Structure 1
Amino acid sequence: MVIFSRNKNPSQHSLYCLLLSHSFASLVLSRKNAPPHRSQVRAKRFSAKAMALVLHAGKTNKNAFKTLIVAEYTGVKVELAPDFEMGVTNKTPEYLKLNPIGKVPLLVTPDGPIFESNAIARYVARLKADNPLIGSSLIDYAHIEQWIDFGSLEIDANIISWFRPRFGSAVYLPPAEEAAISALKRALGALNTHLASNTYLVGHFVTLADIIVTCNLLIGFTKLMTKSFTSEFPHVERYFWTLVNQPNFKKVLGDVKQTESVPPVPSAKKPSQPKETKSKAKEEPKKEAKKEPAKPKAEAAEEVEEAPKPKPKNPLDLLPPSGMVLDDWKRLYSNTKTNFREVAIKGFWDMYDPEGYSLWFCEYKYNDENTVSFVTLNKVGGFLQRMDLARKYAFGKMLVIGSEPPFKVKGLWLFRGQEIPPFVMEECYDMELYNWTKVDLSDENQKERVNQMIEDQEPFEGEVLLDAKCFK
């Protein structure tokens, strides 16, 4: 190092040189120990484009879609692990070393594994410096995080609570489904209000929040939420269809189509016993049967296989014969198209046998939870399906009442015998969800109520009928 100084005093000049050398050494040392400059961080981030990140998940996993869409926007290469099989791959010891609880998706990076889908999507987004997906200001960043949490806690959680029982992966409980749908509608209402004046969730471009919320909505639109459901939220509809048709979304999602119906509740069927095959018997070589001395008739009779016992008769079949033929009434009800009061209702009372049959009013116990029209209708439809075991012994009318929620569900049932059949109470769990009251035919008001329910009279008890269903 060369030092120029105008000072002619040698001693002062030497001191000046010593101080300057010390300062320079300190500067070099401080630069050596300083954290990497932002440009170095950028270089490291951009180098991720060249390295392969491996995402362990199925090809239809909507949580994996979050990362794959982010990768398209960011320009980062993310590969799906080949031959991944849900429920098998994620239970292997090798996988559990990367994620001890076996959750999916899982991203393997050069610096170690990452699980939780939102964390993975954040990581991939941040591999690119100044990525617009994560916002350009502190408030943008906070709002993006806000909508990510909203999408996970208010939308995804409630859609999954609705989805799992409908697809047989959880026990179906009507009150639980009602609560999930009610909470989902509240969330979609809030989202709809925000989107009324915003194209995207944050700012004027797609962000990480849009990607995650759209993926959270995906199962809802494609599996559960019909057009009649989503039409209540027009701005959410516009938002969802705009995003899934963006090129980077479409590369991952393909063509997205809205479901046309809500899947029915799976019936709880007992697993059938596998039939014994005769293949083994055929494969085994036949052995010569040893001749045994004839046994006494009494002893031989004991070895004869017991004949199959006839199935026990339904207790209702053992009741004294009734003058009312249920099929005749059902036929009259179905075939009467005009003058219903004069023909069908009069015919019913002419046929009715109060000794052999009984009439019952029912009312749903949780009408205050009937806040979604089509869910209420599906609930009633499911009840009638599960009543199929009583078709030989019953006739029923179920009314869904009201023009606005909460909707009321009330019914009228004709049962063989003087009580509700015990086997129906035991095998159809819906029965416990209703209050049951036996009709007092000495009360003319109750008798008229029976007429109105059979006839689907509207208005019924001062309210419009949303729907009327018949079990016959």
Structure 2
Amino acid sequence: MSFANTDLITRLASWYLPLVGVLPYNKKTVDEQATASAAALKVLETHLTANTFLVGERITLADIFTAGIIRRGFATVLDKKFRSEFVAVTRWFNTVVNQSYWKDVIPEATLVEEAIKYTPPKKEEKPKKEAPKPAAKEEDDEEPDVKPEPKAKHPLEALGKPTLILDEWKRQYSNNDTRPVAMPWFWQNYKPEEYSLWLVDYKYNDELKLTFMANNLIGGFFARLEASRKFLFGAASVYGENYKCLIRGAFLVRGQECLPAFDVAPDWESYEFKKLDHTKEEDRKLIEDLWAWDTPVVREGKEWPHVDGHVFK
């Protein structure tokens, strides 16, 4: 479901929405998203060639959810030619949308014969504007202009400016080798009264399948943390292998609580947060390992090798 809600929906929507006029049209972007959509759907095709449904041999919520994501694609861009190349996806989609509980909500699924093409809107002739009349003198009792309300500030703004400037640490991390240079600088300059350190674990590792899909999940989470960029640094990675992997990361957070920084992302509740103690050797080592990406993590007595990850900086 996370694959459908991150990879599929973003790529498909960025392909067909400009063609129907919902988003601004840019040919290069649309072509790129068409290619990206085909790559994502190829993953689905491979899985459904070997399996009747997404999970097991019966329709589950995962099938209904994913079919709902793809439905508009079949109605706009996934045409007859596409369906001849993605036989398993088409077979699976037709099976799902022809179930009675689906038809009770959406009686007929549209399968487009030929992908829609972009049609630029016709330019309307605008009537010539008359020269504006000179404005009449405003009366003294006219109501004053209403000023727009000031933009709401991030709650962590109230903490003021720290002595450890986060951007300086981000530069150190980006421009230097992590273990020999960046981490010694960090521990020398870290201010526990200004920042806190947090271990972040994904709650639903048993639902993760392919490692690249898990890594895309991290990327989506980081994108939704954008509003907290000035108050947050961290790295999260996928460890393990396909069909047996986990997501784990470590973060530096402005202030002593994690929630004000993370609750800007709607999916923050999918993660567990544990405060780390920089004075404990095992916690310091864990942070260094999670930021250096050069060693496996140990969880439940088992080593999980590093696969890929994202840095939030």
- The alignment's TM-score, normalised by the length of structure 2, stands at 0.58
Structure 1 residue runs without a partner (length 5+): 1-157, 170-179, 192-210, 222-251, 254-278
Cα deviation 1:423-465 (Å, max 9, x = unaligned) = 641x312211111111133432122111111211312222211
Match of 1:317 in 2: 157
Match of 2:211 in 1: 373
Q: How many residues align?
A: 222
Higher normalized contact order (CA 8 Å, seq sep 6+, divided by chain length): 2
Would you tell me which structure has more helix in proportion to its own residues?
A: 1
Alignment of 1:189 with 2:50, yes or no, is: yes
Query: Which of residues 343, 352, 359 in structure 1 aligns to 2:181?
Result: 343
Match of 1:390 in 2: 228
- Deviation, 1:281, is 11
Query: Residue 44 of structure 2 contacts residue 89 of structure 2 at CA under 8 Å; is this kept in 1?
Result: no
What's the Cα RMSD here? 4.1
Would you tell me which structure has more strand in proportion to its own residues?
A: 2
Alignment of 1:215 with 2:81, yes or no, is: no
Query: Residue 320 of structure 1 contacts residue 356 of structure 1 at CA under 8 Å; is this kept in 2?
Result: no
Query: Which of residues 165, 176, 190 in structure 2 aligns to 1:352?
Result: 190
Query: Residue 402 of structure 1 contacts residue 466 of structure 1 at CA under 8 Å; is this kept in 2?
Result: yes
- Deviation, 1:215, is 2.6
Query: Which of residues 263, 267, 272 in structure 2 aligns to 1:430?
Result: 267
Distance of 1:160 and 1:215 partners within structure 2: 25
Query: Which of residues 390, 402, 406 in structure 1 aligns to 2:244?
Result: 406
- Structure 2 counterpart SS, 1:353: coil
User: How has the CA–CA distance of structure 1 residues 348 and 383 changed in structure 2, closer, same or farther, with 3 Å as cutoff?
Assistant: same
Distance of 2:151 and 2:239 partners within structure 1: 42
Query: Residue 359 of structure 1 contacts residue 413 of structure 1 at CA under 8 Å; is this kept in 2?
Result: yes
Match of 2:12 in 1: 167
Match of 1:275 in 2: none
- Structure 2 counterpart SS, 1:334: helix
User: How has the CA–CA distance of structure 1 residues 181 and 362 changed in structure 2, closer, same or farther, with 3 Å as cutoff?
Assistant: farther
- Deviation, 1:402, is 0.6
Distance of 2:222 and 2:6 partners within structure 1: 24
Percent of aligned positions that are identical: 32
- Deviation, 1:360, is 1.0
Match of 1:441 in 2: 278
Distance of 1:185 and 1:214 partners within structure 2: 14
Query: Residue 362 of structure 1 contacts residue 411 of structure 1 at CA under 8 Å; is this kept in 2?
Result: yes
- Structure 2 counterpart SS, 1:407: strand
Distance of 1:408 and 1:464 partners within structure 2: 10
Query: Residue 358 of structure 1 contacts residue 438 of structure 1 at CA under 8 Å; is this kept in 2?
Result: yes
Structure 2 residue runs without a partner (length 5+): 17-40, 53-79, 91-112, 115-125
User: How has the CA–CA distance of structure 1 residues 288 and 357 changed in structure 2, closer, same or farther, with 3 Å as cutoff?
Assistant: closer
Cα deviation 1:21-61 (Å, max 9, x = unaligned) = xxxxxxxxxxxxxxxxxxxxxxxxxxxxxxxxxxxxxxxxx
Query: Residue 235 of structure 2 contacts residue 311 of structure 2 at CA under 8 Å; is this kept in 1?
Result: yes
- Deviation, 1:285, is 6.5
User: How has the CA–CA distance of structure 1 residues 449 and 288 changed in structure 2, closer, same or farther, with 3 Å as cutoff?
Assistant: closer
User: How has the CA–CA distance of structure 1 residues 212 and 451 changed in structure 2, closer, same or farther, with 3 Å as cutoff?
Assistant: closer
- Deviation, 1:342, is 3.2
